[in-house]
Structure 1
Amino acid sequence: MKVQKLLFPFVFAVLFCSCESDYYSMDDFSKVEKIDAHYHIYTDKNNSLEQARKDNFKFFDINVYLGDCGEIVEVHHNLKQLATENPDEVAFSTAFCLDGWDDSAWVDNTIAWIDQCVADGANSVKVWKNIGMEFRNKDSVLIMIDDPQFDPIFKHMTENNIPLIGHLGEPKNCWLPLDEMTTKNDSSYFARHPEYHMYQHPEFPSYEEQIAARDRMLEKNPNLTFIGCHFASIEWSVDELAKFFDRFPNAAVDMAARMGQTFYQSKEDREKVRNFFIKYQDRFIYGTDNSDHGTNKESLQKSLHEKWLRDWEYLTTDNEMQSTLINGSFQGLKLPKEVVNKIYLGNYRKWYKSL
């Protein structure tokens, strides 16, 4: 009897430690190798990498066509240099220009540019929301991502195993009045950028039309590796995102700039969100969408560290949390180590075949 009493605390302690060893804690934050797989660097200063080294992060830097073809080229050369100097810490994508869209040589020129960028070290190609929301052809018709002129581009990328990164459409909040949006970061962003607040522009395609065009493009290119930025603009519903994953097995998503919507859904049904992350654990890639323009070094590094630490707490603990992104409190997901490792690095390596 005495032996049993002596053994019980020991057995309980062993079982408890074994269970807890399946999860990370806040103390593990800087010990675990991670990547911010949606980042933008527009400077040759080392501000971002300084903080990344402290917090055990790598960077995947995404080039974007914002309407200036010269900027794409300049950023490409800067990122190529940065990755050459820091090959174990930095990888990068490219983007293509839409100037000359109506020229018969546009397709061949674009494929040549993509091939040159890949030869320079780029591991993927990014398309942005100006496709579907801004860019028009010579007849003033809005160009959508399923336009047939993109077909040979995506066919070439498929044949050469070049992933496509897509920020297509916007969060569903974009089509709501500011005071009806579910997250503060969305209402703040669209208040600052009314040109992209589609509630004010009913003449543009609806949210549903944007998503449908993206899905038609994927149906035409079933073997194309696709990474949907910002939860593939299906950030508002884990149920709908599950349908997207089931429908398109060659698609993953990054989590950049949409954590507020995840917090919001966790507040409503935490177990549903947690089970969703565990079930589709191979499809998520961590990122922030932060930008470094070489200014305000201390502010940038402080902001990076705080955001990285907040997301780590949400994904690895079951703490009761609050965020400036939403109203009210929510509980962390406390995902198993295996899932956390995939989100923070393993899935990036799987989908981009890099670093």
Structure 2
Amino acid sequence: MTEQDKFVALVSATAEVSLPLGEFQPKSALVTPDNTPLMPRFPVIDYHNHLDSMQPEDVLRIMDSCGVEHVINITMKVGDEAIAILDRYHAASPRFSSIGWMDWSDVQRDDFVQVTADRLKRLVDHGVVGIKFWKDMGLTIRGNNGNLLRIDDERWIPIFEECEKLQLPVMFHTADPTAFFDPIDRFNERYEELAAHPDWGFSDSPVSKRELLEQRNRVIARHPGITFVGAHCAESSEDLAYLCEQMDALPNLMVDISARASELGRQPFRAREFFLKYADRILFGSDLLPETEMYRLYYRMLETADEYFPYPSHASRQGRWNIYGLSLPDDVLRKVYRENALKLLPKLS
């Protein structure tokens, strides 16, 4: 047998080997420096987290271990259950603040706007520093006629006017990652994540992601007296050019980077430019249950020039790639880590 025959036989034998995608867990052969910070260069305010299932004392221990000064808990509960969580965290430590969750129950009521105003006042009485409108607004909530309720429906104007009156910043989590609106097939870069959670997909949605974001943007433009926070880079981290367009058009829009290290860190040159240009309007947030190593991965992305390392994520991860450090300058880090959040937290200033 010639050497060429041996090579062909080897290739043929190898080609017959099959490996389920889920079992393919390659380890990178790259040897690169690891400059992971054990503590951030400056104190950190985590503006976006969900702590409802945790005990305050457990969170405080983790905060101390990795330089987190303050955490904003965005409760995902409404009504009396939400109030109990707000009170528990506020009583536990002044290092916690809370953002309330928009309650869409009874949305078909004729007096829903007044009901919502009363709910907002109750949340404020219990110390919230903002209100969050989630992706159900525009994607799943329907009116009496069965149609999806639009984000920019003029019926909600008095609700936002009440937010302005109460001086409540408004957080929007509108739509989701772009891959969630694509078919869950072999071309979807987040196939494994969506195959494990098919209910996260919106490929059959009657409204596109771009239309949802444009509806949201019309609300932001309509209420210039409110500071809006676009959660997860305003759901535009895969298209930083479009995100920049929105930031330029909407001066009352800030964004947090929660759960988007995976997107920002894989485009480090463009992402660094974005941070430098909008340093006054970007908030640090994690959107992952507090863990010391999770926070340190965020610090590694923001502070170092390290190459090709894992991004902070939940267990199912978001895609088969690694990220790079942005090596942000100190003046930008100070703003992103803490100073920008203080603008929305006057009692801490």
CA 1:191–1:327 in structure 2 vs 1: closer, same or farther (change >3 Å)? Answer: closer
Show the counterpart of 1:29. 39
Post-superposition shift, 1:205?
0.7
2 CA distance for matches of 1:31 and 1:51? 17
Post-superposition shift, 1:52?
0.9
1 CA distance for matches of 2:225 and 2:187? 38
1 CA distance for matches of 2:263 and 2:324? 14
Post-superposition shift, 1:176?
1.8
2 CA distance for matches of 1:345 and 1:64? 24
Post-superposition shift, 1:327?
4.2
Show the counterpart of 1:318. 305
Higher-RCO chain (CA-CA 8 Å, sequence separation at least 6): 1
Show the counterpart of 1:351. 344
| Letter aligned with residue 230 of structure 2 | G
Show the counterpart of 1:78. 85
Post-superposition shift, 1:265?
2.0
Aligned Cα root-mean-square deviation (Å)? 2.1
Where does 1:47-126 land on structure 2 (aligned, <5 Å)?
47-57=58-68, 58-64=70-76, 69=78, 72-87=79-94, 89-126=95-132
**Unaligned stretches of 5+ residues in structure 1:** 1-24, 292-300
Q: Which one has the bigger helix percentage?
A: 1
Post-superposition shift, 1:261?
1.1
1 CA distance for matches of 2:308 and 2:83? 39
1 CA distance for matches of 2:54 and 2:48? 18
Show the counterpart of 1:198. 202
CA 1:336–1:107 in structure 2 vs 1: closer, same or farther (change >3 Å)? Answer: same
Between 1:282-291 and 1:75-84, the stretch displaced more is: 75-84
2 CA distance for matches of 1:329 and 1:44? 29
Q: Which of the residues 246, 255, 260 maps onto 1:253?
A: 255
| Letter aligned with residue 338 of structure 1 | D
Post-superposition shift, 1:193?
3.2
Post-superposition shift, 1:308?
0.9
Is the 2:262–2:323 contact (alpha carbons within 8 Å) kept by the matching residues of 1?
A: no
CA 1:354–1:259 in structure 2 vs 1: closer, same or farther (change >3 Å)? Answer: farther
Is the 1:264–1:326 contact (alpha carbons within 8 Å) kept by the matching residues of 2?
A: no
Q: Deviations over 1:222-272 (max 9, x none)?
A: 222100111111111221111111111011011111111112222xxx2x3
Post-superposition shift, 1:44?
5.9
1 CA distance for matches of 2:164 and 2:198? 36
Show the counterpart of 2:21. none
Give the match's secondary structure for 2:308.
Answer: strand
Is the 2:232–2:258 contact (alpha carbons within 8 Å) kept by the matching residues of 1?
A: yes
Between 1:25-34 and 1:331-340, the stretch displaced more is: 25-34
Give the match's secondary structure for 1:36.
Answer: strand
Post-superposition shift, 1:290?
1.9
Q: Which of the residues 338, 344, 349 maps onto 2:331?
A: 338
Post-superposition shift, 1:85?
2.4
Q: Deviations over 1:183-203 (max 9, x none)?
A: x5xx4443333233112x14x
Is the 1:163–1:352 contact (alpha carbons within 8 Å) kept by the matching residues of 2?
A: no
1 CA distance for matches of 2:277 and 2:76? 31
Is the 2:44–2:338 contact (alpha carbons within 8 Å) kept by the matching residues of 1?
A: yes
| Letter aligned with residue 86 of structure 1 | S
Where does 1:162-201 land on structure 2 (aligned, <5 Å)?
162-178=168-184, 179-182=186-189, 184=190, 187-199=191-203, 201=204
State how many pairs are aligned.
305
Is the 2:36–2:297 contact (alpha carbons within 8 Å) kept by the matching residues of 1?
A: no
CA 1:264–1:28 in structure 2 vs 1: closer, same or farther (change >3 Å)? Answer: closer
Post-superposition shift, 1:140?
0.7
| Letter aligned with residue 99 of structure 1 | S
Post-superposition shift, 1:309?
0.7
Q: Deviations over 1:285-337 (max 9, x none)?
A: 1111124xxxxxxxxx6xx2122111111111111132265545543111011
Is the 2:75–2:85 contact (alpha carbons within 8 Å) kept by the matching residues of 1?
A: no
2 CA distance for matches of 1:198 and 1:346? 36
Q: Which of the residues 280, 288, 298 maps onto 2:286?
A: 288
Q: Which of the residues 240, 243, 257 maps onto 1:241?
A: 243
Show the counterpart of 2:25. none
CA 1:259–1:329 in structure 2 vs 1: closer, same or farther (change >3 Å)? Answer: closer
Give the match's secondary structure for 1:321.
Answer: coil
1 CA distance for matches of 2:275 and 2:40? 22
2 CA distance for matches of 1:259 and 1:175? 20
Show the counterpart of 1:3. none
Give the match's secondary structure for 2:72.
Answer: strand
CA 1:34–1:305 in structure 2 vs 1: closer, same or farther (change >3 Å)? Answer: same
**Unaligned stretches of 5+ residues in structure 2:** 1-34, 312-317
| Letter aligned with residue 246 of structure 1 | D
Is the 2:47–2:285 contact (alpha carbons within 8 Å) kept by the matching residues of 1?
A: yes
Give the match's secondary structure for 1:51.
Answer: helix
Is the 2:43–2:67 contact (alpha carbons within 8 Å) kept by the matching residues of 1?
A: yes
